[in-house]
Chain A
Amino acid sequence: MMKRIVYREWRIPPARFWGILGILASVIGIGTLSFGYMEHQGHWVTGMNNAVVWGLPHVFAVFLVIAASGALNIASIGTVFRKPIYKPLGRLSGLLAVALLMGGLLILVTDLGRPERLIVAITSYNFSSIFAWNIFLYTGFMAIVIAYLWTMADRQGGPFNRPVGILALFWRLALTTGTGSIFGFLVAREAYSAAILGPMFVILSFAYGLAVFLLVLMFAFAEEGRVIGPKILRRLKNLLALFVAGALYFMLIYHLTNLYAAKHDDFESWLLLHGGIYTFAFWVGSILIGGLLPLWILYHPEKGKNCNWVAAAAALVIVGGLSTMYVVIIGSQAYPMPLFPGQTILESGFGDGVGGRAASYWPSIPELLLGLGGVAVGLLITAVGVRVLQFLPESLADDVVPVDEETLGEAAFAKPA
């Protein structure tokens, strides 16, 4: 028989908790210092330039934003698609979504040339800009997810749970498509003028969000000695494997369509063969570390059942995700813009890709620290959240988690959740 799900605050020893908070706070502090340094000096201290205008901070920020929307998946599967086994995970899923989004947005804001003018971005809109729409998408997402969390946690919110969950699901799809479209609408850049970028970002977000979710869940449970039963672990790791495979498939389609469209041939051969660091990041980072290796672990008959291996796979997906973002965001800026088809640029006063050479970009330390600071913000919000509020289920052992349709045959007598 199914037991009632009990949620409980994260009760690790105070010394341990404050230690974790201290580490996160120092990473945030260092990130803040980097921000101050970059803003005071100007962006010349970064690796960014007039050709590669978005650097490592955007890699982290976009990763966090799409991981945020992906993290909400677990809650959606529970409420919208009525899979009761995921229900106990809904609260953490919502919390992570808000926290990661905050982290990502903070990076975006602190990387602006004039961050003190944020008020301008809030008061002066250009509605033809997908960027301006994203400001609404992001703030709306946060509000909806907070409402969603309330419906999950409060008895009075119960009746609204599913409607709000459905709204959140559609909103997160819009958000990720919107984020992908920031790049997809850039007709000027060869790598980006592909409609598939929007849906590809959605499937990438599924994978990254779940990977982050898994790691956080496993860490939080291991710290306190709570149990993750093999049943739910199998479900989660299968889901992750499915998303990773989906992401690989979309990337394959993306590059195949680019190859098929003759005008993108040059870009593809550059990226896949001669792109130096970008070729490496693509094959080793995105495909091997972020795709094939985790798939191998997750579908391995032994390793796939082992908590540590599953955690390792999730970590690999995150590393691969960051390098995918690096390739998508930076690689496509570095590749020279096709100004004069059929002609080779011999000299240029502004680095127009002389002789077809890619623009140079090498991330600086402050950029990296800024990005890590944003990650730490997300984790700090999560850590404080699970500590003070009842986000985590007491146990995910097999006999506690709700029955789901896979085992319905055995438990046909169980009441529907």
Chain B
Amino acid sequence: MKDENRTNLEPVDRERRTFIGAAAGVGASMVAPGVILHAVEAAPRATSVSSDVRWGLAIDTAKCAEGCSACIDACDRENGLDLQTKPKPLSESKWDQQKAVWIRKVKLQDNQTGRITNLPMMCQHCEDPPCVDVCPTGASFKRADGIVMVDRHLCIGCRYCMMACPYKARSFIHEALEGQLTSVPRGKGCVESCNLCVDRRDYGEESTACADACAAEGHNAIVFGDLKDPESPISQLLKALPTRQIREDLELNTGVRYAGV
């Protein structure tokens, strides 16, 4: 199921992939699982996340190329969103509105000047997230490191957070899923959205899938980092470039900032 969707893997990827299957499954009988994981530098987090960091994104819309969808493709692959399949009886146009989208490209034109802007939109990881305020069960929450996400064990699928989100950043899973990724459990009837590649955070990785993909394309429009560290590239960038939050009027202090909008 999953491999059918991913037949376009490069040969190298394929080989690595088979290897992973072995490493995670039978092959791992050679080494105990704990040993495997602790043997590498990027060890999984053993202590609670702290508010000493606040993760965020800085997006330079001047560098965001029209027609490029590298960030979206990377996000889809990272989080298994490319495994979504349209239920057969459903029309394409309806499916477009019902499938889960964590990151999307938006193309804008200024009404006065006609200037065109391209930018990616995703969960803005507000400091005071409206989705967290309204969630009746506390499933929608903000992690200490500033990531706004959904605890799918608590989500009852009431969709009030989607009503409250000013950025339309959240998706409801409308259909039953199978073949989910180990790292991104997701299922029918819950709400989800961008979580800044939370498992990458917990395994000490440098960046998010979208930022990596954008850099790999040579655009470097998306910069990920710690907003609280004045030395981090993102803080430096925000110091240098005039940026703003979308819907500044709501004073949500978003973790995602845009230059050139």
Residue interface bits A364-384, CB-to-B below 8 A is 1, else 0: 000000000000000000000
- CB of B97 within 8 A of CB of A129, answer no
A413 at the A/B interface (Cβ < 8 Å)?
no
- CB of B188 within 8 A of CB of A113, answer yes
Bound CA span A346–B67, Å: 13
Interface stretch (choices B12-20, B157-165, B228-236): B157-165
Bound CA span A130–B158, Å: 13
Q: Which residues of A306-362 are within 8 A (CB) of B?
A: 333, 337-340, 342-352, 359-360
- CB of A346 within 8 A of CB of B108, answer yes
Bound CA span A357–B94, Å: 15
- CB of B104 within 8 A of CB of A343, answer no
Instruction: State how many angstroms separate the Cβ of A356 from the closest Cβ of chain B.
Output: 11
Complex contacts, B130 vs chain A, CB 8 Å: 186-188
A49-B97, A113-B158 are contacts. A43–B172 as well, Cβ < 8 Å? yes
Complex contacts, A120 vs chain B, CB 8 Å: 137, 139, 154, 156
Complex contacts, B190 vs chain A, CB 8 Å: 113-114
Residue interface bits A114-128, CB-to-B below 8 A is 1, else 0: 110110110011101
- CB of A113 within 8 A of CB of B110, answer no
Residue interface bits A35-69, CB-to-B below 8 A is 1, else 0: 00001011110001111011000000000000000
Q: Which residues of A375-401 are within 8 A (CB) of B?
A: none
Instruction: State the main secondary structure of chain A at its contact with B.
Output: loop
B138 at the A/B interface (Cβ < 8 Å)?
yes
Contact partner of A54 among B105, B159, B250, CB < 8 A? B159
Interface stretch (choices B25-33, B38-46, B173-181, B198-206): B173-181
Bound CA span A121–B90, Å: 31
Interface stretch (choices B47-55, B111-119, B209-217, B218-226): B111-119
Complex contacts, A352 vs chain B, CB 8 Å: 104, 106, 121, 168
Complex contacts, A112 vs chain B, CB 8 Å: 156-158, 189
Complex contacts, A349 vs chain B, CB 8 Å: 69, 72, 101, 104-106
Q: Which residues of B48-83 are within 8 A (CB) of A?
A: 69, 72
Bound CA span A53–B162, Å: 7
A132 at the A/B interface (Cβ < 8 Å)?
yes
A42-B173, A347-B107 are contacts. A337–B157 as well, Cβ < 8 Å? no
Complex contacts, B250 vs chain A, CB 8 Å: 187-188
Contact partner of B261 among A118, A340, A350, CB < 8 A? A340
Bound CA span A67–B87, Å: 37
- CB of B108 within 8 A of CB of A187, answer no
A234 at the A/B interface (Cβ < 8 Å)?
no
Complex contacts, A44 vs chain B, CB 8 Å: 87, 90, 94-95, 98, 174-175
Q: What's the interface size class on A, roughly?
A: 35 or more
Instruction: State how many angstroms separate the Cβ of A330 from the closest Cβ of chain B.
Output: 12
Bound CA span A128–B166, Å: 18
Contact partner of A129 among B98, B160, B162, CB < 8 A? B160
Bound CA span A186–B154, Å: 22
- CB of B168 within 8 A of CB of A350, answer yes
Complex contacts, A360 vs chain B, CB 8 Å: 93, 97
Bound CA span A339–B120, Å: 13
- CB of A339 within 8 A of CB of B247, answer yes
- CB of B104 within 8 A of CB of A346, answer no
A189 at the A/B interface (Cβ < 8 Å)?
yes
B155 at the A/B interface (Cβ < 8 Å)?
yes
- CB of B110 within 8 A of CB of A342, answer yes
A135 at the A/B interface (Cβ < 8 Å)?
yes
Complex contacts, A131 vs chain B, CB 8 Å: 134-136, 158, 160
- CB of A42 within 8 A of CB of B174, answer yes
Instruction: State how many angstroms separate the Cβ of B138 from the closest Cβ of chain A.
Output: 4
Bound CA span A333–B139, Å: 23
- CB of B168 within 8 A of CB of A42, answer no
Instruction: State how many angstroms separate the Cβ of A360 from the closest Cβ of chain B.
Output: 7
Instruction: State how many angstroms separate the Cβ of A1 from the closest Cβ of chain B.
Output: 54
- CB of B168 within 8 A of CB of A51, answer yes
Residue interface bits B234-261, CB-to-A below 8 A is 1, else 0: 0000000000001100100000000001
A185 at the A/B interface (Cβ < 8 Å)?
yes
- CB of A124 within 8 A of CB of B163, answer no
Instruction: State how many angstroms separate the Cβ of A134 from the closest Cβ of chain B.
Output: 8
7 A-B contacts (beta carbon < 8 Å) = A41-B87, A50-B98, A112-B158, A333-B163, A342-B111, A345-B106, A346-B107
Show the binding face of B for A, using Cβ within 8 Å: 69, 72, 87, 90, 93-98, 100-101, 104-112, 116-117, 121, 130, 132-139, 154-160, 162-168, 170-176, 188-191, 246-247, 250, 261
Show the binding face of A for B, using Cβ within 8 Å: 39, 41-44, 48-51, 53-54, 112-115, 117-118, 120-121, 124-126, 128-132, 135, 182, 185-189, 333, 337-340, 342-352, 359-360
- Shortest Cβ-Cβ A-B pairs, 4 listed: A113-B157, A113-B189, A188-B166, A349-B104
Q: A39-B189, A44-B87 are known contacts; what are 5 more A-B pairs with Cβ within 8 Å?
A: A113-B172, A117-B154, A120-B154, A126-B136, A338-B247
